[in-house]
Protein backbone atom coordinates (compact mmCIF):
# COMPACT_ATOMS: atom_id res chain seq x y z
CA UNK A 1 0.00 0.00 0.00
CA UNK A 2 2.74 2.44 1.06
CA UNK A 3 4.62 1.69 -2.17
CA UNK A 4 1.54 2.35 -4.27
CA UNK A 5 0.90 5.71 -2.67
CA UNK A 6 4.53 6.80 -3.20
CA UNK A 7 4.16 5.82 -6.84
CA UNK A 8 0.95 7.82 -6.99
CA UNK A 9 2.64 10.85 -5.48
CA UNK A 10 5.51 10.57 -7.97
CA UNK A 11 3.13 10.43 -10.90
CA UNK A 12 1.23 13.33 -9.52
CA UNK A 13 4.44 15.35 -9.22
CA UNK A 14 5.45 14.46 -12.77
CA UNK A 15 2.03 15.54 -13.98
CA UNK A 16 2.10 18.84 -12.11
CA UNK A 17 5.63 19.50 -13.39
CA UNK A 18 4.73 18.79 -17.03
CA UNK A 19 1.64 20.97 -16.84
CA UNK A 20 3.68 23.79 -15.28
CA UNK A 21 6.35 23.52 -17.97
CA UNK A 22 3.71 23.43 -20.71
CA UNK A 23 1.88 26.44 -19.33
CA UNK A 24 5.12 28.30 -19.00
CA UNK A 25 6.15 27.64 -22.58
CA UNK A 26 2.69 28.72 -23.73
CA UNK A 27 3.11 31.95 -21.82
CA UNK A 28 6.62 32.47 -23.22
CA UNK A 29 5.32 31.84 -26.74
CA UNK A 30 2.43 34.22 -26.26
CA UNK A 31 4.79 36.84 -24.88
CA UNK A 32 7.13 36.34 -27.87
CA UNK A 33 4.30 36.89 -30.34
CA UNK A 34 3.27 39.99 -28.40
CA UNK A 35 6.86 41.24 -28.52
CA UNK A 36 6.78 40.86 -32.29
CA UNK A 37 3.62 42.96 -32.68
CA UNK A 38 3.89 46.55 -33.81
CA UNK A 39 2.72 49.39 -31.56
CA UNK A 40 -0.80 49.54 -32.99
CA UNK A 41 -1.47 45.80 -32.67
CA UNK A 42 0.08 45.60 -29.23
CA UNK A 43 -2.43 48.20 -28.09
CA UNK A 44 -5.54 46.01 -28.67
CA UNK A 45 -4.74 42.52 -30.01
CA UNK A 46 -3.36 41.42 -26.67
CA UNK A 47 -6.84 41.82 -25.19
CA UNK A 48 -8.48 38.35 -25.38
CA UNK A 49 -11.80 40.01 -24.70
CA UNK A 50 -11.53 42.47 -27.60
CA UNK A 51 -15.08 41.62 -28.73
CA UNK A 52 -16.53 43.28 -25.66
CA UNK A 53 -14.13 46.20 -26.02
CA UNK A 54 -14.23 46.98 -29.71
CA UNK A 55 -14.01 50.72 -29.14
CA UNK A 56 -10.56 50.26 -27.60
CA UNK A 57 -9.23 50.15 -31.17
CA UNK A 58 -9.85 53.89 -31.58
CA UNK A 59 -7.16 54.64 -29.02
CA UNK A 60 -4.54 52.60 -30.86
CA UNK A 61 -3.92 54.68 -33.98
CA UNK A 62 -0.59 56.46 -34.46
CA UNK A 63 0.87 58.81 -37.06
CA UNK A 64 -0.82 61.79 -38.67
CA UNK A 65 -4.33 60.58 -37.95
CA UNK A 66 -3.65 60.89 -34.23
CA UNK A 67 -5.89 59.00 -31.84
CA UNK A 68 -9.41 58.32 -33.17
CA UNK A 69 -11.10 59.07 -29.87
CA UNK A 70 -13.70 61.32 -31.56
CA UNK A 71 -15.20 58.06 -32.89
CA UNK A 72 -16.03 56.69 -29.43
CA UNK A 73 -17.86 57.75 -26.29
CA UNK A 74 -21.28 57.19 -24.76
CA UNK A 75 -22.99 58.78 -27.77
CA UNK A 76 -21.94 56.13 -30.34
CA UNK A 77 -24.57 54.10 -32.17
CA UNK A 78 -23.36 50.51 -32.47
CA UNK A 79 -24.87 49.17 -35.67
CA UNK A 80 -24.74 45.60 -36.93
CA UNK A 81 -24.95 44.99 -40.67
CA UNK A 82 -27.19 41.97 -41.28
CA UNK A 83 -27.95 42.23 -45.00
CA UNK A 84 -25.27 42.16 -47.76
CA UNK A 85 -27.58 43.61 -50.42
CA UNK A 86 -27.24 47.14 -51.77
CA UNK A 87 -29.60 49.83 -52.98
CA UNK A 88 -27.70 53.06 -53.76
CA UNK A 89 -30.71 55.40 -53.52
CA UNK A 90 -32.95 53.69 -50.96
CA UNK A 91 -30.63 51.74 -48.68
CA UNK A 92 -32.51 49.05 -46.77
CA UNK A 93 -32.28 48.81 -42.99
CA UNK A 94 -29.49 46.41 -42.04
CA UNK A 95 -27.30 47.12 -45.07
CA UNK A 96 -23.83 48.66 -45.05
CA UNK A 97 -25.00 51.64 -47.10
CA UNK A 98 -27.76 52.35 -44.60
CA UNK A 99 -25.18 52.27 -41.81
CA UNK A 100 -22.71 54.63 -43.51
CA UNK A 101 -25.26 57.26 -44.59
CA UNK A 102 -28.51 57.16 -42.66
CA UNK A 103 -27.62 57.17 -38.95
CA UNK A 104 -27.01 60.52 -37.31
CA UNK A 105 -23.88 61.12 -35.23
CA UNK A 106 -21.15 58.62 -34.39
CA UNK A 107 -21.62 55.10 -35.76
CA UNK A 108 -19.59 51.96 -35.04
CA UNK A 109 -20.44 49.37 -37.69
CA UNK A 110 -19.91 45.62 -37.24
CA UNK A 111 -21.15 42.62 -39.22
CA UNK A 112 -23.45 39.81 -38.10
CA UNK A 113 -21.83 37.18 -40.32
CA UNK A 114 -19.44 36.64 -43.22
CA UNK A 115 -20.54 38.63 -46.26
CA UNK A 116 -19.76 39.32 -49.90
CA UNK A 117 -21.00 42.81 -50.57
CA UNK A 118 -21.31 43.87 -54.19
CA UNK A 119 -21.98 47.59 -54.27
CA UNK A 120 -24.13 48.79 -57.16
CA UNK A 121 -22.51 52.26 -56.87
CA UNK A 122 -19.59 53.69 -54.84
CA UNK A 123 -20.27 53.76 -51.10
CA UNK A 124 -20.18 57.18 -49.46
CA UNK A 125 -19.05 57.09 -45.83
CA UNK A 126 -20.14 59.77 -43.30
CA UNK A 127 -17.90 61.52 -40.77
CA UNK A 128 -17.49 59.87 -37.35
CA UNK A 129 -18.02 56.42 -38.85
CA UNK A 130 -16.08 53.25 -38.01
CA UNK A 131 -16.37 50.20 -40.24
CA UNK A 132 -15.10 47.31 -38.11
CA UNK A 133 -14.89 43.97 -39.94
CA UNK A 134 -13.30 42.05 -37.07
CA UNK A 135 -14.84 38.66 -36.38
CA UNK A 136 -16.40 38.26 -39.83
CA UNK A 137 -14.97 37.66 -43.27
CA UNK A 138 -16.15 40.75 -45.17
CA UNK A 139 -15.53 41.25 -48.87
CA UNK A 140 -16.48 44.41 -50.71
CA UNK A 141 -15.84 43.29 -54.25
CA UNK A 142 -16.67 43.26 -57.95
CA UNK A 143 -18.59 46.56 -57.98
CA UNK A 144 -18.32 50.05 -56.57
CA UNK A 145 -16.01 50.64 -53.61
CA UNK A 146 -15.41 53.24 -50.89
CA UNK A 147 -15.50 57.03 -51.31
CA UNK A 148 -14.69 59.40 -48.44
CA UNK A 149 -15.77 62.81 -49.69
CA UNK A 150 -15.41 65.88 -47.44
CA UNK A 151 -15.48 63.83 -44.25
CA UNK A 152 -13.38 63.52 -41.10
CA UNK A 153 -12.93 60.94 -38.34
CA UNK A 154 -13.37 57.72 -40.29
CA UNK A 155 -11.88 54.31 -39.43
CA UNK A 156 -11.84 51.49 -41.98
CA UNK A 157 -10.67 48.27 -40.33
CA UNK A 158 -10.58 44.59 -41.24
CA UNK A 159 -12.24 44.60 -44.66
CA UNK A 160 -11.23 42.82 -47.87
CA UNK A 161 -11.74 45.22 -50.77
CA UNK A 162 -10.97 43.98 -54.26
CA UNK A 163 -11.92 43.82 -57.92
CA UNK A 164 -13.33 47.35 -57.74
CA UNK A 165 -14.83 48.40 -61.07
CA UNK A 166 -15.21 51.83 -62.69
CA UNK A 167 -18.64 53.37 -62.18
CA UNK A 168 -20.61 55.72 -64.36
CA UNK A 169 -21.90 59.02 -62.92
CA UNK A 170 -25.15 59.08 -61.01
CA UNK A 171 -26.95 59.81 -57.75
CA UNK A 172 -26.26 57.83 -54.56
CA UNK A 173 -27.33 58.19 -50.96
CA UNK A 174 -24.78 60.26 -49.04
CA UNK A 175 -24.18 61.45 -45.46
CA UNK A 176 -27.29 62.64 -43.56
CA UNK A 177 -29.52 60.96 -46.13
CA UNK A 178 -28.64 63.58 -48.73
CA UNK A 179 -28.57 62.42 -52.32
CA UNK A 180 -25.15 63.13 -53.84
CA UNK A 181 -24.56 63.29 -57.59
CA UNK A 182 -21.28 61.46 -58.08
CA UNK A 183 -19.16 61.86 -61.16
CA UNK A 184 -17.64 58.82 -62.86
CA UNK A 185 -15.10 56.87 -60.82
CA UNK A 186 -12.08 54.87 -61.96
CA UNK A 187 -12.38 51.84 -59.71
CA UNK A 188 -10.25 52.52 -56.63
CA UNK A 189 -10.67 50.51 -53.43
CA UNK A 190 -10.66 53.56 -51.14
CA UNK A 191 -10.78 57.09 -52.53
CA UNK A 192 -10.42 60.13 -50.26
CA UNK A 193 -11.48 63.54 -51.51
CA UNK A 194 -10.92 66.63 -49.31
CA UNK A 195 -11.04 64.47 -46.19
CA UNK A 196 -8.98 64.46 -43.00
CA UNK A 197 -8.29 62.34 -39.93
CA UNK A 198 -8.82 59.05 -41.70
CA UNK A 199 -7.38 55.75 -40.43
CA UNK A 200 -7.12 52.79 -42.82
CA UNK A 201 -5.92 49.76 -40.79
CA UNK A 202 -5.66 45.98 -41.34
CA UNK A 203 -7.45 45.79 -44.69
CA UNK A 204 -6.62 43.46 -47.57
CA UNK A 205 -6.71 45.31 -50.88
CA UNK A 206 -6.09 43.89 -54.35
CA UNK A 207 -6.89 43.67 -58.02
CA UNK A 208 -8.79 46.90 -58.60
CA UNK A 209 -9.31 48.55 -61.94
CA UNK A 210 -7.45 51.77 -61.05
CA UNK A 211 -5.64 51.95 -57.72
CA UNK A 212 -6.04 50.72 -54.16
CA UNK A 213 -5.89 53.98 -52.20
CA UNK A 214 -6.22 57.54 -53.52
CA UNK A 215 -5.63 60.52 -51.22
CA UNK A 216 -6.72 63.59 -53.18
CA UNK A 217 -7.90 67.22 -53.22
CA UNK A 218 -6.51 68.54 -49.99
CA UNK A 219 -6.97 65.39 -47.92
CA UNK A 220 -4.60 65.25 -44.95
CA UNK A 221 -3.90 63.81 -41.49
CA UNK A 222 -4.13 60.25 -42.68
CA UNK A 223 -2.61 56.99 -41.41
CA UNK A 224 -2.49 53.93 -43.64
CA UNK A 225 -1.31 51.03 -41.48
CA UNK A 226 -1.18 47.22 -41.30
CA UNK A 227 -2.75 46.74 -44.72
CA UNK A 228 -1.86 44.03 -47.20
CA UNK A 229 -1.61 45.33 -50.76
CA UNK A 230 -1.16 42.81 -53.54
CA UNK A 231 -1.78 42.03 -57.24
CA UNK A 232 -1.96 45.67 -58.29
CA UNK A 233 -0.35 47.95 -60.86
CA UNK A 234 -0.90 51.38 -59.24
CA UNK A 235 -1.10 50.88 -55.49
CA UNK A 236 -1.35 54.22 -53.70
CA UNK A 237 -1.62 57.80 -54.91
CA UNK A 238 -1.01 60.67 -52.49
CA UNK A 239 -1.83 64.04 -54.10
CA UNK A 240 -4.48 64.74 -56.67
CA UNK A 241 -2.73 66.09 -59.77
CA UNK A 242 0.14 68.38 -60.71
CA UNK A 243 -2.14 71.44 -60.64
CA UNK A 244 -3.69 70.88 -57.22
CA UNK A 245 -1.50 73.05 -54.97
CA UNK A 246 -3.57 72.54 -51.84
CA UNK A 247 -1.98 69.12 -51.55
CA UNK A 248 1.17 70.92 -50.33
CA UNK A 249 -0.35 70.59 -46.86
CA UNK A 250 -0.96 66.85 -47.21
CA UNK A 251 0.48 64.70 -44.44
CA UNK A 252 0.27 60.92 -44.59
CA UNK A 253 1.78 58.18 -42.45
CA UNK A 254 2.29 54.83 -44.21
CA UNK A 255 3.29 52.25 -41.59
CA UNK A 256 3.48 48.47 -40.99
CA UNK A 257 2.00 47.60 -44.40
CA UNK A 258 2.92 44.59 -46.52
CA UNK A 259 3.34 45.36 -50.23
CA UNK A 260 3.35 42.35 -52.54
CA UNK A 261 3.42 40.05 -54.26
CA UNK A 262 2.94 41.58 -57.70
CA UNK A 263 2.66 45.26 -56.81
CA UNK A 264 4.00 47.28 -59.69
CA UNK A 265 4.36 50.94 -58.66
CA UNK A 266 3.12 53.79 -56.38
CA UNK A 267 3.79 52.44 -52.91
CA UNK A 268 3.12 55.35 -52.64
CA UNK A 269 3.43 57.99 -55.37
CA UNK A 270 3.55 61.41 -53.71
CA UNK A 271 2.59 64.82 -55.16
CA UNK A 272 3.45 68.02 -53.26
CA UNK A 273 2.89 66.79 -49.71
CA UNK A 274 4.80 64.89 -47.06
CA UNK A 275 4.81 61.16 -46.44
CA UNK A 276 6.40 59.35 -43.51
CA UNK A 277 6.84 55.81 -44.81
CA UNK A 278 7.95 53.63 -41.95
CA UNK A 279 8.35 49.95 -40.96
CA UNK A 280 6.77 48.58 -44.15
CA UNK A 281 7.80 45.44 -46.02
CA UNK A 282 8.23 45.63 -49.79
CA UNK A 283 8.23 42.22 -51.44
CA UNK A 284 9.51 43.26 -54.84
CA UNK A 285 8.05 45.79 -57.27
CA UNK A 286 7.74 46.31 -61.00
CA UNK A 287 8.68 49.82 -62.13
CA UNK A 288 9.47 51.29 -58.69
CA UNK A 289 8.28 51.24 -55.08
CA UNK A 290 8.16 54.90 -53.98
CA UNK A 291 7.92 57.83 -56.37
CA UNK A 292 6.94 61.45 -56.51
CA UNK A 293 6.58 64.69 -58.46
CA UNK A 294 5.95 68.38 -57.69
CA UNK A 295 8.43 68.83 -54.81
CA UNK A 296 7.30 65.86 -52.74
CA UNK A 297 8.87 65.14 -49.37
CA UNK A 298 9.51 61.65 -48.09
CA UNK A 299 11.10 60.26 -44.99
CA UNK A 300 11.57 56.57 -45.66
CA UNK A 301 12.44 55.06 -42.30
CA UNK A 302 13.27 51.53 -41.17
CA UNK A 303 11.51 49.77 -44.03
CA UNK A 304 12.58 46.44 -45.51
CA UNK A 305 12.98 46.71 -49.28
CA UNK A 306 13.40 43.34 -51.00
CA UNK A 307 14.16 44.02 -54.66
CA UNK A 308 12.59 41.79 -57.31
CA UNK A 309 14.76 38.94 -58.66
CA UNK A 310 14.69 40.51 -62.11
CA UNK A 311 14.16 44.05 -63.29
CA UNK A 312 14.54 47.37 -61.56
CA UNK A 313 16.35 47.20 -58.22
CA UNK A 314 15.92 50.92 -57.54
CA UNK A 315 13.26 51.74 -54.95
CA UNK A 316 12.54 55.32 -56.00
CA UNK A 317 11.32 57.16 -59.04
CA UNK A 318 11.17 60.90 -59.68
CA UNK A 319 11.15 62.92 -62.87
CA UNK A 320 12.30 66.29 -61.54
CA UNK A 321 15.28 67.59 -59.59
CA UNK A 322 13.03 69.23 -57.05
CA UNK A 323 12.25 66.55 -54.52
CA UNK A 324 13.27 65.67 -51.03
CA UNK A 325 13.68 61.95 -50.48
CA UNK A 326 15.61 60.67 -47.50
CA UNK A 327 16.20 57.10 -46.40
CA UNK A 328 16.93 56.53 -42.72
CA UNK A 329 17.79 53.07 -41.33
CA UNK A 330 16.07 51.21 -44.19
CA UNK A 331 17.27 47.67 -44.99
CA UNK A 332 17.91 46.74 -48.62
CA UNK A 333 17.92 43.14 -49.80
CA UNK A 334 18.43 41.46 -53.15
CA UNK A 335 20.43 44.42 -54.48
CA UNK A 336 17.78 47.08 -53.75
CA UNK A 337 18.98 50.69 -53.92
CA UNK A 338 17.52 54.03 -52.88
CA UNK A 339 18.26 57.31 -54.65
CA UNK A 340 18.12 60.19 -52.20
CA UNK A 341 17.68 63.77 -53.42
CA UNK A 342 20.71 65.49 -54.99
CA UNK A 343 21.81 67.11 -51.72
CA UNK A 344 21.44 63.67 -50.13
CA UNK A 345 18.11 64.75 -48.78
CA UNK A 346 17.25 66.44 -45.56
CA UNK A 347 15.58 64.07 -43.17
CA UNK A 348 12.49 66.17 -42.71
CA UNK A 349 11.01 65.40 -39.33
CA UNK A 350 7.37 64.38 -39.29
CA UNK A 351 6.92 66.83 -36.39
CA UNK A 352 4.27 64.66 -34.81
CA UNK A 353 2.10 66.01 -32.02
CA UNK A 354 2.04 64.00 -28.77
CA UNK A 355 -1.03 61.98 -29.83
CA UNK A 356 0.53 61.16 -33.23
CA UNK A 357 4.06 60.21 -32.23
CA UNK A 358 5.18 56.59 -31.94
CA UNK A 359 8.34 54.59 -31.51
CA UNK A 360 9.80 53.50 -34.84
CA UNK A 361 10.98 49.87 -34.70
CA UNK A 362 14.23 48.50 -36.07
CA UNK A 363 13.90 47.49 -39.74
CA UNK A 364 15.01 43.96 -38.74
CA UNK A 365 11.68 43.52 -36.91
CA UNK A 366 9.59 44.39 -39.97
CA UNK A 367 9.33 40.80 -41.28
CA UNK A 368 7.61 39.81 -38.05
CA UNK A 369 5.61 42.96 -37.41
CA UNK A 370 4.01 42.89 -40.90
CA UNK A 371 3.29 39.14 -40.84
CA UNK A 372 -0.35 39.69 -39.91
CA UNK A 373 -0.90 42.69 -42.21
CA UNK A 374 -4.28 42.68 -43.93
CA UNK A 375 -7.68 41.71 -42.56
CA UNK A 376 -7.14 39.49 -39.52
CA UNK A 377 -8.83 36.19 -38.84
CA UNK A 378 -10.45 36.66 -35.47
CA UNK A 379 -11.87 33.32 -34.34
CA UNK A 380 -14.88 33.23 -32.01
CA UNK A 381 -12.97 31.97 -29.02
CA UNK A 382 -9.54 33.58 -29.08
CA UNK A 383 -7.50 36.67 -29.78
CA UNK A 384 -7.29 38.26 -33.20
Mask of contacts with ligand NAG, 1-20, x by CB under 6 A? --------------------
- Minimum gap (Å) between residue 71 Cβ and ligand NAG: 15
Compute the least distance from the CB of residue 66 to ligand NAG, in Å. Answer: 6
Rounded to the nearest whole angstrom, what is the least distance from the CB of residue 248 to ligand NAG in the complex? 12
Distance from CA of residue 232 to its chain's centroid? 16
Is 31 in contact with 365 (CB distance < 8 Å)? no
| 272 vs 242: CA distance, rounded Å | 8
Q: Report if residue 353 touches ligand NAG, rule: CB under 6 A.
A: yes
**318-345 b/e with 16+ CB inside 10 Å = b?**
beeeebbbbbeebbbeeebebebbeeeb
Which of 149, 196, 225, 280: binder of ligand NAG (CB under 6 A)?
196
- Residue 126's alpha-carbon distances to 69, 109, 152, 192, in angstroms, are 16, 12, 8, 12
Segment 43-82, which members bind ligand NAG (CB under 6 A)?
Answer: 66
Instruction: Write out the binding residues for ligand NAG, residues 201-230 only, by CB under 6 A.
Output: 220-221
Contact yes or no for 254/224 (Cβ under 8 A): yes
Q: Is 312 helix (H, G, I), strand (E, B) or coil?
A: coil
Largest alpha-carbon pair distance within the chain?
94
Active site residue 266: yes
Residue 66 vs 174, nearer CB to ligand NAG: 66
Of 45, 160, 217, 266, catalytic: 266
Which residue lies nearer to ligand NAG by CB, 203 or 220? 220
When the beta carbons of 45 and 240 are compared against ligand NAG, the nearer one is 240
Judged by CB under 6 A, the chain residues 128 through 167 that form the site for ligand NAG are none
Give how many residues touch ligand NAG by CB under 6 A. Answer: 6
Q: Do 291 and 318 form a contact (C-beta atoms < 8 A)?
A: yes
Shortest Å distance, C-beta 221 to ligand NAG: 4
Question: How many angstroms separate the first and last alpha carbons of the chain?
Answer: 51
Residues binding ligand NAG (CB under 6 A): 66, 196-197, 220-221, 353
Catalytic residues: 266
Amino acid sequence: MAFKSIQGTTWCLVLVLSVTILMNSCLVMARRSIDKMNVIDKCWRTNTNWRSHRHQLAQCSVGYTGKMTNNIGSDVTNYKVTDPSDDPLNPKLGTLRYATTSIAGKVWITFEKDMNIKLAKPLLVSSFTTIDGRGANIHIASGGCLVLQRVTNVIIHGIRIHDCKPQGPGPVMGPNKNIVHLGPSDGDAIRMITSSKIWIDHNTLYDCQDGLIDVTRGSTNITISNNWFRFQDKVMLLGHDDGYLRDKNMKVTVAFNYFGPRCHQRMPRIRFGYAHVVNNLYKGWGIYAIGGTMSPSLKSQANLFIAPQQGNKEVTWQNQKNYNFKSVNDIFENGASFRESPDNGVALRPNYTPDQIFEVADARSVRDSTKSAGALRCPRTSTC
